Amino acid sequence: MVKVAPSILSANFAKLGEEIRDVEQGGADYIHIDVMDGHFVPNMTIGPLVIEAIRPITKLPLDVHLMIEHPDHYISAFAKAGADYLSVHVEACPHLHRTVHFIKECGVKAGVVLNPHTPISMIEHIIDDVDLVLLMTVNPGFGGQKFIHSVLPKIQRVAQLAKERNLSIEIEVDGGVNAETARLCIEAGANVLVAGSAIYGEIDRAAAIRAIRGKK
């Protein structure tokens, strides 16, 4: 079953509540929230306060993508704010095992994220402990970028690892996802598709979500 996670990065922040309700009514499965610190990535977005404000306005799980240095310092704040999934970049976590287990101790599902150039071998010894693997198909920091096709074999490799080890993890893809690239990701084995501009750039968000899911 393919899930769609609209990224609010491309939403109108002046009416964020309405923008979230719109995609919930349009059939979204998760709300994807991009947290950027201006250090790990060259852009700044939102913190726990905004997540706390969003929490009561939707029943959907909040899928929080941390693009920040020293994520351990902020994990409990994001957990208290109402995150359902907290995903950290392996490139930002020298003690990834500790970080993943700290997320779980905070009562939140744990995800690990790989930049386009980062090999799957980086998560071979942690994949059994996580709930979600997120593969970046753009270099993180901005919405509206072009999908990097060379990540597709990495999706296949994660799907293969999950099968070999009998893991029921979410395999999520983020960056440049539209109806056409979504199809390639699903074929490669992804089951959660993040999309910002391809959903919030359209007037009919329900139709955009259906198109990404591969339904008319």
Ligand X SMILES: O=C(CO)[C@H](O)[C@H](O)COP(=O)(O)O
Q: Is 150 annotated as a binding residue?
A: no
Tell me if 174 sits within 8 A of 194, measured CB to CB.
Answer: yes
The window from 23-31, 91-99, 172-180, 184-192 that contacts Co ion (CB under 5 A) reads 172-180
Q: Does 213 contact Co ion by CB under 5 A?
A: no
* Residue 131 among the catalytic residues: no
Looking at residue 57, its amino acid is I
Which residues in the 5-44 window bind Co ion by CB under 5 A? 34
Positive or negative torsion for Cα 53, 56, 58, 61 = positive
Nearer to ligand X, 61 or 101 (CB): 61
Under the rule (CB under 6 A), what is the footprint of ligand X?
A: 7, 9-10, 32, 34, 65, 67, 138, 140-141, 143-145, 174-177, 194-198
State in angstroms the smallest separation of the CB of 62 from ligand X.
13
Structure tokens at 171: 């395999």
What's CA 209's distance to the chain center, in Å? 16
- Min dist. Cβ of residue 157 to ligand X (A): 21
User: Nearest approach, Cβ of 109 to ligand X (angstroms)?
Assistant: 17
Pair 214, 193: CB distance under 8 Å: no
* Residue 7 near residue 16, CB atoms below 8 Å: no
Strands 3-6 and 109-114: unpaired
Phi, psi (degrees; rounded to nearest 5) at 32: -95, 125
Say how far apart CA 47 and CA 140 lie, in whole Å: 17
Block residue for tokens 């074929």: 187
Interacting span for Co ion (CB under 5 A) from 36-44, 82-90, 144-152, 173-181: 173-181
Task: Tell whether 141 is in a known binding site.
Answer: yes
Task: Tell me how far, at minimum, the Cβ of 30 lies from ligand X, in Å.
Answer: 11
Active-site residues, by number, are 34, 174
Can you give the binding site for Co ion, defined by CB under 5 A?
34, 65, 174
Please enumerate, by residue number, every residue annotated as part of a binding site. Answer: 7, 32, 34, 65, 141-144, 174-176, 196-197
